[in-house]
Structure 1
Amino acid sequence: MDYLYHPFASKRHTVFAKKGMVATSQPLAAQAGLEILQKGGNAIDAAIATAAALTVVEPTSNGIGGDAFALVWTKDQLHGLNASGPSPESISVDAVKNLGHEKMPVHGVIPVTVPGVPSAWAALSKRFGRLSLAETLKPAIRYAEEGYPLTPILGKYWKLAYNKFKENFTTEEFEAWFETFAPEGRAPEIGEVWKSPGHASTLKSIGETDARSFYEGELADKIDDFMKQHNGFLSKSDLNKYEPQWVTPISTNYRGYDVWEIPPNGQGMVALMALNIFEKMSPPAWQNAETLHQQIEAMKLAFTDGQAFITEPDEMPISAEELLSEAYAIERSQVITDVAMDPKPYDLPKGGTVYLAAADDEGNMISYIQSNYMGFGSGVVIPGTGIGLQNRGADFSLDESHPNVLRPGKRTYHTIIPGFLTKDGQAVGPFGVMGGYMQPQGHFQVVTNTVDYILNPQAALDMPRWQWMKGKSVHVEPEFPNYLVQALARKGHEVHVTPEGGSFGRGQIIWRDPETGVLQGGTESRTDGAIAAW
C-alpha cells in the first residue's frame, strides 16, 4: 500500500520487520512475545506470552481474572475465539435487588462474572501453539517474581486508582487489593520496582495444568472460598462448567476491504454498522467538516442501536445479519442530515483493557484483547494469588424488558473487541483500539484512516481522535484542528476539547505485505506503547 503523508506523523515512525513482530501497550510485554518468537514459538505463542505478561506489567488495565477475545489468521483462514464468561448460576435480578441495588453495582463481588482469560490462553495454545503453555508463560512469571520498574503512563493510572480505591474501598472484601497492589501502603512510583510472588505462583499453576487449576483445582477452590466468605455469587461450579467458544467471525466489505469482528455478545458489530452507514454517504474528503460530521452521525446511530440490541445472540430482538444488511445501512443513512441529531434506536421490524497484535514469518497473525474492565475491575483480589477479578456484570440491566437484562449463566454486552483486515481473501493484518465504549469508534477511525486516507499504521493511530459520548456531545483531543471543532459546533455538535490524557483508546496495528511478507507495525503514542520485532 502506498501511503500519504499527514501532519501528525512525527510522534513515531512505522516499524518494519520480516521474521516477527509484537505490538502492545507496554515494552516489557512486547519483549516477552519477542522472546517466545525467538525460542521457536509462532505468533499465537507470542500473543499468549504477551497477554500473560500484560497481567503483570499493566495490571491497571487487565488481569488473570478478566475476559478475552481473539481473531487468529493461520493457513489462509480466520478463526474467532470468544472467551467471555457468563454470570453465575446463582445470580438473578431479584437477588441483586434484594441486596438493596436498583442497578448493577460497579465494584465488589456482585458484578464478578466467570473469568475467561486463562481459558483463552489454554485454548489458543492447544489449537494453534507450537510451544507448551508453561513455556509461553515463563517471561510473565519472571516479571512477577523478580519485579519490574513502572513505566510513566502505568504509574499515572496506578496512582489514580489507588487514590480512588483508598477513599471508597473500605470493607474487608477489598483488603487483598491493597496488599497486592499497594504493599507499601501507597501506589508504587514511576520507576519503582513492583513484584507479585502470588501472581507468579498462579501463572505457574495455570501453565502446568493448561489452566485447569483455575477452573477445577486449587485456584478454583480459593476463588470459591473467597466468594462464600464475602457473600458473592460466583462459585466453583460456575468455573467447572465454563469453556470458551470458537466462533465464526463477522465482517463487512468497506470500499474493497473486509473488516472482521467477533460476533455478539461483543460490540464489534457497532464498528461494522457504522462503516456500512458511512459508506452510503458522499465520498470522504480529507480534513473536511462534512465528512467528519457524517462519520460522527453514522457512529452515533450504530452505537445507539448496538447498545439497544446487542446481548447474547439468541436473546437479541433483531439479528446481526439484519443489522449488517444493506437495507439497514441505507435506512439509517437516510436519517442523517446536515445538523447533529439526538439519536433514537432503530425502529425494529414488526413481528476498558489491553490489546496486542502479533505476527510471524509463516503468515500467522493474531488480534488479541483482554480486560478486567474499568481499570482494576471489581477491586476484588483473591488473597495470595494476584488474581484481580473483573466486573463485567456491571453492564447487565436490571430492567426485565431490556435485551441485556441479567440472567443466570448469561454473557453480558461486551466492550472489548479485536479487529482484523483482509483484502481479496488475503490477510492485511490485525488491529485494535482498547478503551471501553471508545473501541468501536477507534476501529472505525483506524479503518477509515487506513482505507480512505491511505495512512501508514503509525499515522493511522496518531491521527487526533474524536469520541461520541451521548446525544450531541462529542469529545475531541487537544490536537484536533480548531477549524473542524468550530465547523462541527456550527452543525449543532456540542464539542468538548478534553485535557491531554483523555480516554481516546490505545491502539496497535500490524499490516503484512502479501507479496514480500514484510510486516509494518504501529503502536500507541498515547501510552507506553512498544513494538518488538526482528
Structure 2
Amino acid sequence: MDLAYYPYPSRRHVVLGRRGAVATGQPLAALSGMEMLLKGGNAVDAAIAMAAALTVVEPTSNGIGGDLFAMVWDGRLHGLNASGKSPLGLTPERIPEGGMPERGWLPVTVPGAVSGWRALHERFGRLPFPEVLAPAIRYAEEGFPVGPETARAWRRAEEIYLSLKGPEFQAFQEVFFPGGRAPGAGEVWGSPGHAQTLREIGESYGESLYRGKLAEAVAGFSEATGGLLSLEDLASHAPEWVEPLSWEYRGFTVHELPPNGQGVAALLALAILEGFDLKPEDPFSYHVQVEAMRLALADAFRHVADPRFLELDPRAMLSPSYVAQRRSLIGDRALPQALPGLRPEGTVYLAAADGEILVSLIQSNYQGFGAGILVPKTGVALQNRGLGFSLEEDHPNRVGPGKRPYHTIIPGFLTQEGKPLGPFGVMGGYMQPQGHVQVVVGLADFRLNPQAALDRPRWQVVPSRGGDRVLLELGIPQATALFLRDLGHRVAYEAEPGVFGRGQVVLKGNGVLLGASDPRGEGLALAW
C-alpha cells in the first residue's frame, strides 16, 4: 500500500493520526464525532454522535425512524442488528394488487436506529448519553447550512414527496419542504421538533421511542391516519447482538453481518473471485467481477430473510464446494440469467476508531427520506423498509407480521491475521455489496491505499427481470465497455456519481490510523 500513490483525479489524500479517526458522508457529522474524541470519549461515543447528527444534517438519507447495523472491535468483533420488524397487523392480504406502495404507512417498519445507539452505548460508551447527542441537538435547534450534495438529493426528492396526498404526509412536507420547496445549498435549515425529540431520547436513554411519550405519539399518529404501527410493535422491539460472517480474501479477512442483511453477497462474490487473477485495467477482470456479483446477488435475493425464517444457513453459500460450483459458471460470455444455485434445505455510513475500539456503523431510512411520514411535532421521520419484502408465497422473505425484511444496508470490517485493520462501508441500496467487493479488490488485489480504493471508478450490476444491466462510471475506458458488450453484457455509462455509492474507510496499522472519504459525496475523514 503506497500512501503517496493516487492514480485517480479526486485530489483527496488519506488523513493520518494516532489517537483517533472518523469518516462519514457529511462534514458537520464528522466534526460531531471528532468533538466526542476531543472530549475524552471513545470511538463508540464518536460513532453515535455522528449517527445522531446525520439524522439532522443529512435527512435525505437517514433519520430517527430508520434502522441501524454495526460492528465493533474491542479485542474481538461484535455484530449488532438493530433493524425493526414489520407491524403485527401487516399480513399479505393487506398488500394491494399492484404491490407494496413505496410511500405511506404500509411499508413502514419499527424504527431500530435509536435502540442501536443505546445498545452500543450501554456496552461500550464512555461519555454520558445526552452529551453524545448534544451536537445533533445543536444542529437541529440552531439550524445548519445545507451542503451541496445533500441539497441535490433534497431537490431530487422534491417532486416525489410534495406530490403525496393525505393527512399522514402533511407534517413531513411542512418540515422538510418549507415554503413548498427543498432548501438549497448554503441555506440554513433546522427542525425544533427534531431537537426536542433528540433531547427526549437522550434523557430517557432511548426508552421514550419504544415505551414512552414518543412511542405514544408515533402509535397515535399511526392510528389516526390509517397506519398499522402500534404501541405493541414498538414496545416489543429489541436489537440483537450477532456473530459476523467472514471470508479470507488474499490475506484480508472480510467480515459482514448475517441476514437479514445482504452482506453474504459480498462474501460470496469475493470467494468466487479468489479463483481469478484480477488486474487493474484488464477488461476480462471487469467481466469476472460483474459475473461473480450477479451470481452472489441471485443467491442473496432468494435466501436472505429474517433469521427466524431462513430456509438455508448463509454459511452454506460459502462452502468451498458451492463456491467452486458457482465459479465454474463464469466463462467467456455473460450468463444469460444469473439464477440462485442452492435449494433450501430446512443509507448513511460512518467509521470511527480511537486506537483500541473501531466501529463500522450504517443507518438508513431507505429510498432517501423513507415513507414520507413525519410524526407531527417530533423528529421521527419513518422508514419504508417494508419494500424489502418479497410477495412470493413460498419465499422466506415473504411479507408478513412481525418480520425483519431483506435489508440493503451493511457495515464492513477488515482484519488480518487476527488483528483489526478497520471498518469500511459503501452506501447505496444494492450497490452496497458491490461497493464492498470493489473496495476490497482495490485494497487486496491492486494494493491501493484506502483513498485510492474509494476513488477508483466503479461498476454496478442492476438486477432486472428483463435481464441484468451493468452501469459503468465515467472513467472506465470505453474499450472496456465495448469488450463487455461483446461478451453479452447490457452495458451503459452513468454520469450521476451517486448511483455508485459513497464510501468511508478507517484502517489501522503500525500504530497509525488512516482515514478516507469518498469523493462522490461531500464527506470528510478526520484524524488526530
Which bin holds the TM-score, normalised by the shorter protein?
Answer: over 0.9
Q: Which residue of 2 aligns with 1:65?
A: 65
Q: Which residue of 2 aligns with 1:295?
A: 289
Say yes or no: does 1:215 pair with 2:210: yes
Q: Tell me the CA shift for residue 519 of structure 1.
A: 0.6
Q: Which residue of 2 aligns with 1:203?
A: 198
Q: Tell me the CA shift for residue 501 of structure 1.
A: 3.0
Q: Which residue of 2 aligns with 1:340?
A: 334
Contact 2:515 2:526 in 1 (8 A): no
Q: Which residue of 2 aligns with 1:448?
A: 441
Identity of aligned residues (%): 52
Q: Distance in 2 between matches of 1:11 and 1:265?
A: 37
Q: Give the residue type in structure 2 aligned to 1:40.
A: G
Q: Distance in 2 between matches of 1:291 and 1:475?
A: 16
Q: Which residue of 2 aligns with 1:248?
A: 243
Q: Which residue of 2 aligns with 1:125?
A: 121
Contact 2:3 2:14 in 1 (8 A): no
Say yes or no: does 1:178 pair with 2:178: no
Q: Which residue of 2 aligns with 1:228?
A: 223
Q: Which residue of 2 aligns with 1:307?
A: 301
Q: Which residue of 1 aligns with 2:183?
A: 188
Partner SS state of residue 248, structure 2 = strand
Q: Which residue of 1 aligns with 2:5?
A: 5
Q: Distance in 1 between matches of 2:345 and 2:209?
A: 45
Contact 1:509 1:522 in 2 (8 A): yes
The 4+ residue runs of structure 1 with deviation greater than 3 A are 1-6
Q: Which residue of 2 aligns with 1:318?
A: 312
Q: Distance in 1 between matches of 2:18 and 2:498?
A: 35
Q: Give the residue type in structure 1 aligned to 2:128.
A: S
Name which of structure 1's ranges 58-67 and 406-415 shifts more when overlaid on structure 2: 406-415
Contact 2:515 2:527 in 1 (8 A): no
TM-score, normalised by the number of residues in structure 1: 0.96
Partner SS state of residue 382, structure 1 = coil
Q: Give the residue type in structure 1 aligned to 2:334.
A: A
Q: Distance in 1 between matches of 2:308 and 2:118?
A: 27
Q: Give the residue type in structure 1 aligned to 2:442.
A: N
Contact 1:11 1:462 in 2 (8 A): no
Name which of structure 1's ranges 437-446 and 310-319 shifts more when overlaid on structure 2: 310-319
What is the total number of aligned residue pairs between the two structures? 524
Contact 2:271 2:318 in 1 (8 A): yes
Q: Distance in 2 between matches of 1:36 and 1:350?
A: 48
Partner SS state of residue 381, structure 1 = coil
Q: Distance in 1 between matches of 2:308 and 2:251?
A: 31
Say yes or no: does 1:408 pair with 2:405: no
Q: Give the residue type in structure 1 aligned to 2:76.
A: Q
Contact 1:102 1:398 in 2 (8 A): no
Change (3 A) 1:9 1:73: farther
Name which of structure 1's ranges 518-527 and 183-192 shifts more when overlaid on structure 2: 183-192
Query: What's the C-alpha RMSD, in Å, of the aligned pairs?
Result: 1.3
Q: How does 1:324-473 map to 2 (within 5 A)?
A: 324-341=318-335, 342-348=337-343, 353-361=347-355, 363-470=356-463, 471-473=467-469
Partner SS state of residue 253, structure 1 = strand
Change (3 A) 1:350 1:521: closer
Change (3 A) 1:101 1:132: farther
Q: Tell me the CA shift for residue 502 of structure 1.
A: 4.3
Q: Tell me the CA shift for residue 508 of structure 1.
A: 0.1
Q: Tell me the CA shift for residue 493 of structure 1.
A: 1.1
Q: How does 1:69-218 map to 2 (within 5 A)?
A: 69-74=69-74, 76-94=75-93, 96-97=94-95, 100-166=96-162, 168-218=163-213
Q: Give the residue type in structure 1 aligned to 2:415.
A: T
Say yes or no: does 1:507 pair with 2:507: no
Q: Tell me the CA shift for residue 316 of structure 1.
A: 2.2
Q: Give the residue type in structure 2 aligned to 1:232.
A: G
Q: Distance in 1 between matches of 2:427 and 2:123?
A: 25
Q: Tell me the CA shift for residue 6 of structure 1.
A: 5.1
Change (3 A) 1:10 1:400: closer
Contact 1:478 1:497 in 2 (8 A): yes
Partner SS state of residue 180, structure 2 = coil
Q: Distance in 2 between matches of 1:48 and 1:331?
A: 42
Contact 1:478 1:500 in 2 (8 A): no
Partner SS state of residue 400, structure 2 = coil
Q: Which sections of structure 1, spanning at least 5 residues, go unmatched? A: none
Contact 1:72 1:365 in 2 (8 A): yes
Q: Give the residue type in structure 1 aligned to 2:383.
A: Q
Q: Give the residue type in structure 2 aligned to 1:385.
A: T
2:479 pairs, out of 479, 483, 487, with: 483
Partner SS state of residue 16, structure 1 = strand
Contact 2:71 2:78 in 1 (8 A): yes
Q: Distance in 2 between matches of 1:472 and 1:224?
A: 40
Name which of structure 1's ranges 315-324 and 451-460 shifts more when overlaid on structure 2: 315-324
Q: Distance in 2 between matches of 1:61 and 1:465?
A: 21
Q: Distance in 2 between matches of 1:162 and 1:376?
A: 10
Partner SS state of residue 428, structure 1 = strand
Q: Distance in 2 between matches of 1:485 and 1:102?
A: 36
Q: Distance in 1 between matches of 2:19 and 2:295?
A: 42
Name which of structure 1's ranges 335-344 and 436-445 shifts more when overlaid on structure 2: 335-344
Contact 2:460 2:500 in 1 (8 A): yes
Q: Give the residue type in structure 2 aligned to 1:324.
A: L
Partner SS state of residue 430, structure 2 = helix
Q: Distance in 1 between matches of 2:436 and 2:289?
A: 12
Contact 2:272 2:292 in 1 (8 A): yes
Q: Tell me the CA shift for residue 349 of structure 1.
A: 6.7
Q: Give the residue type in structure 2 aligned to 1:257.
A: F
Q: Distance in 2 between matches of 1:395 and 1:522?
A: 30
Q: Distance in 1 between matches of 2:186 and 2:345?
A: 59
TM-score, normalised by the number of residues in structure 2: 0.97
Q: Distance in 2 between matches of 1:214 and 1:314?
A: 25
Q: Give the residue type in structure 1 aligned to 2:33.
A: G
